[in-house]
Structure 1
C-alpha cells in the first residue's frame, strides 16, 4: 500500500490460462496496489463461442476463480465484474451470421446469467455497453437494448453497471436510460473515460493529463488501467503497476483529496465497497 492508503484499479482483466494472471496481481501489489475490480475477458478470448446464455457461465466461473486467487495476493481484496463485452455483437453478426435481433437476445441472456452471480453475492457489478466503433443502425439499436437490459438488472439488484462504449464527454442520455430503469446515474460507470464526463461516473484511464483534469474537477471518479493480459499485446492497455504509480504521482503533486476521492469515497458511493475497512494494515 502507499502511505497506509487503499489503491484500487477499477477495471482490468486477468488471464491465468493464457498469459500472466496472478503474476500481474503480484506486480500490482508490489508497487502499492491493494484492491482490484477484475472484469471478465471477452468470451471468445477464453474460447467460448456462445450459443445460449448458459454458455457464458464458464467465462464467469473462471473469472470468479481468478479473483479468489488475486485476493490472496492483496492486502485488500479483489471483486469480479461480470457481463458480456459489447464487441461480441460484431462477431456474432459479421462472423457467425446472426441477425442483430438474434445477437441481442443471446447477449441479453448472457447478461441475465451474469446478474445471477450479482444476486448471489459472487460478483460485485455488471458489465455491458455498446460498440466504440461505427456500426449500422440495427446493430446500434440492438446494442442499446442489451445495455438497457443491464440497467434493468442494476435497478433490481441495486448494483453498478460498468460500460464499455464510445469516447465521449457527454453520456447524459445513457445515464438517463439507467434512471428510467430505476438505477441512480452515479452507479453507471464509464470505463476508459476521460477526466471530464457528464452523466455516468468516469473510470479514468491513467493518463496523467486526464487524471489531472479529474482531480481538478473535484467530482467523483475512479482510476483504471484496462490491462488486458493478452499474450499478443503484453502491457496493453496499461500495465498493472500503473495505478499505484499514478497514485504516487498525484500525491507528489498535492492531489491528496483526489486520491481519497478515487480510492475510498467513489468506490463506496458507486459499488458500496469499503476499501479502507477491507485493508489489512500492520499493527
Structure 2
C-alpha cells in the first residue's frame, strides 16, 4: 500500500453504474491506494440520450452527480464531477442526425451553458469541451472551435478549469491563448490524454510509464489520468481504474517523490483549487 499521507488522484475517468462496473471500479481504485477522482460525464449518446437542445443534457449531468456522490462515499478522499459536452457529438449531430454545423454548435453550446450552471451553483468542479481528434470538414472544425471558445468564456466568468479533448499534440499554445483572451488563467486549461510534454495547457498525462517518466523529468505541473471509460464493449480501449495508484507506487519506488507531489497535491490545487491533503481521511 501507499504511504498514509499520499493522496492519489485520477484526473479523468468515466463511471457508468447503469451499464457496467460503476462503484466496483471505484473500489478497485481505492483498494490499491487511490483517494481522489475527477469523474467526467460520459458522452451523452453513450447513455442513450439524444440531444436537440442544451436542456436535454440535464439527465446526463444529474446521473453524473449521483455517481460522484456514491464514489465519494467509497473513497478516503473524495470525488468531484466535471461536466460538459464531448466534442465528438458534433459528428453525430451532423453526420447521423442531419443538423448543420452551426445548428450543432448551438446545441453543444447550450449543453455547456447548462454545465456552467452546475459549476456556478457549486455542484460541479470544472467544465469539459474540446474539438475532434479526427479529420473533419472546415465547417465542423470552425464550429468545434467556436464551441471550445464558448466554454473558455464560461471558464473565465466562473474562474474554473476546462478539461479539453483534442487532437494529439505537444503544442496547444494557440488554444491556451484563446482561453486567456476569454479571461481564463492559462494553467486552468487542461489537455486530457496528454503526452509527457505539452506547451500551452496543463497536461493530464495518460498513466503509461514512458509518458509519466517524461513528465516527471520535465518538472513542470502535470496531472495523471486513465481515461477509464467503464464500457464492457471496450475493455482494452484505455487504462483500468487500478493504474494510477500502481503508477504512483512505481514513481515513488523510482525516486520521483517530487513528481508525485506535483501531480497529486500541487497541480490539483493550482488548477482546480482543491486540497487533496485536507480532504484525505486515512487512519
Q: TM-score, normalised by structure 2?
A: 0.99
Q: Deviations over 1:240-268 (max 9, x none)?
A: 00000000000010000000000000000
Unaligned runs of 5+ in 2: none
User: For residue 258 of structure 1, what is the aligned residue in structure 2?
Assistant: 259
Q: Deviations over 1:142-188 (max 9, x none)?
A: 00000001100000000000000000000000000000000011000
Work out whether 1:249 is the aligned partner of 2:250. yes
Q: Deviations over 1:60-105 (max 9, x none)?
A: 0000000000000000000000000000000000000010000000
User: For residue 41 of structure 2, what is the aligned residue in structure 1?
Assistant: 40
Work out whether 1:3 is the aligned partner of 2:3. yes
Unaligned runs of 5+ in 1: none
Partners of 2:16 and 2:236 lie apart in 1 by: 13
Partners of 1:234 and 1:60 lie apart in 2 by: 24
Secondary structure in 2 matching 1:128 = strand
Q: Deviations over 1:7-63 (max 9, x none)?
A: 000000000000000000000000000000000000000010001100001000000
Q: Deviations over 1:171-220 (max 9, x none)?
A: 00000000000001100000000000000000000110000000000000
**CA offset at residue 231 of structure 1?**
1.3
Partners of 2:177 and 2:138 lie apart in 1 by: 21
Partners of 2:191 and 2:64 lie apart in 1 by: 21
Partners of 2:236 and 2:32 lie apart in 1 by: 16
**CA offset at residue 117 of structure 1?**
0.3
> Aligned-pair RMSD on alpha carbons?
0.6
Q: After superposition, where does 1:94-133 map in structure 2 within 5 Å?
A: 94-133=95-134
**CA offset at residue 236 of structure 1?**
3.2
Work out whether 1:223 is the aligned partner of 2:220. no
User: For residue 52 of structure 1, what is the aligned residue in structure 2?
Assistant: 53
**CA offset at residue 235 of structure 1?**
4.7
Partners of 2:221 and 2:53 lie apart in 1 by: 37
Partners of 2:277 and 2:142 lie apart in 1 by: 41
Partners of 1:2 and 1:221 lie apart in 2 by: 20
Q: Is the 8 A contact 1:229 1:236 kept in 2?
A: no
**CA offset at residue 233 of structure 1?**
1.2
Partners of 2:61 and 2:70 lie apart in 1 by: 15
User: For residue 182 of structure 1, what is the aligned residue in structure 2?
Assistant: 183
Q: After superposition, where does 1:1-283 map in structure 2 within 5 Å?
A: 2-4=2-4, 5-282=6-283
Partners of 2:166 and 2:227 lie apart in 1 by: 13
Secondary structure in 2 matching 1:72 = helix
Q: Is the 8 A contact 1:227 1:235 kept in 2?
A: no
Secondary structure in 1 matching 2:37 = strand
Q: Is the 8 A contact 1:229 1:235 kept in 2?
A: no
Secondary structure in 2 matching 1:86 = coil
Partners of 2:245 and 2:236 lie apart in 1 by: 15
Partners of 2:238 and 2:40 lie apart in 1 by: 14
